[in-house]
Structures are given as structure tokens and as C-alpha cells.
Amino acid sequence: MTIKVGDRIPSAKLMHVTADGAREVTTEEIFGGKTVVLFAVPGAFTPTCSIKHLPGFLEHLDALKAKGVDTVACMAVNDQFVMEAWAKSQNAIDKIMFLADGSGLFTKALGLEFDLTARGLGIRAQRFAMIVKDGVVTYLGVEEPGGFEVSKAEAVLAAL
């Protein structure tokens, strides 16, 4: 079942990538008592993700924080080493919280997985963005395949 507005974020563990390396973090630590924007990409280093999605959130980071967002987090079904390299290549490490869902377990718990096995990419996250307040989803924008409208930073800003 796909998560929806009003649902609580499921309990899971992810790898949080920082300039000092990666450490395991729980969803309770990420979302508890905070307003968090979580956006997910099908893969680090992929074209739309690297050219539009992540750069948009970097560009609007101050505006998001001015609207009460405590954390902006980017997640992908990639391992922490790929996420670290991508964060560094985008000059975004420690500006945005990078979360590696290496096995896709959190993505599956959200019901937002996307099977790209036929294209050699395996199971990935759909492109989406959500606003989560104290663990409860208040906005969810899931893109149609190939779309880039409801999950971009401007759409999230408008929803805040």
C-alpha cells in the first residue's frame, strides 16, 4: 500500500551520508519533532536528478527553511558510497541530508518503489517529494514516469 497524506512515516533505518562519513539513522531520528522535506530520486548521477531535482532544492534551500523546514533530505536506492560521491560532486554535502536506502527497504515500506529491472537499474524509488511534520505526511507529490512537476522544489514551496 502506498503512503498517503495523513499517514505516519514507517519505522526504518537508512544511512545518513555526511562529510565525516556515513552512519545509520532511524526514521524516528530524521522525522520526529521536525518539519522535513524528503525528496527521492530514481538514482544518484542520473540526468534529471543531477541537472534539475537536487539543484532545485539547493537553490531554494533558504526559502524552504524560511517557511519552517528544519531538514531537507534527499534519498535514493543507492549505497552510501554512491550517495557520498554524488553529494560531493554537487557541492551539497551537509547542506542537504543525503539518505542511502541501499536495499530499498524504506522505499518499499512507503510503497513508492519503481521497477527499472528491464533497463538494468533494478528496483528504485519513484521520483517524489513529501513534507513530513513530526512523522506525519502533510504533502506528497509522486511523479508519473518521466514527469518532473509535483516533486520539484517550487511545488514543495507552494505546498508549505
Are 75 and 83 contacting, i.e. CB atoms less than 8 angstroms apart?
A: no
Cβ pair 6, 142 in contact under 8 A: no
CA distance 149 to 95: 23
The torsion defined by the Cα of 101, 49, 156 and 27, in degrees rounded to 10, comes to 10
Angstrom distance (rounded) from CA 34 to CA 45: 28
Which one is catalytic: 49, 125, 153, 156? 49
Q: How far apart are CA 47 and CA 51, in angstroms?
A: 6
What gap in Å lies between CA 160 and CA 150, rounded to an integer?
13
Geometric angle at alpha carbon 79, from 74 and 85, rounded to 5°: 70
Active site residue 74: no
Q: Which residues are catalytic?
A: 49
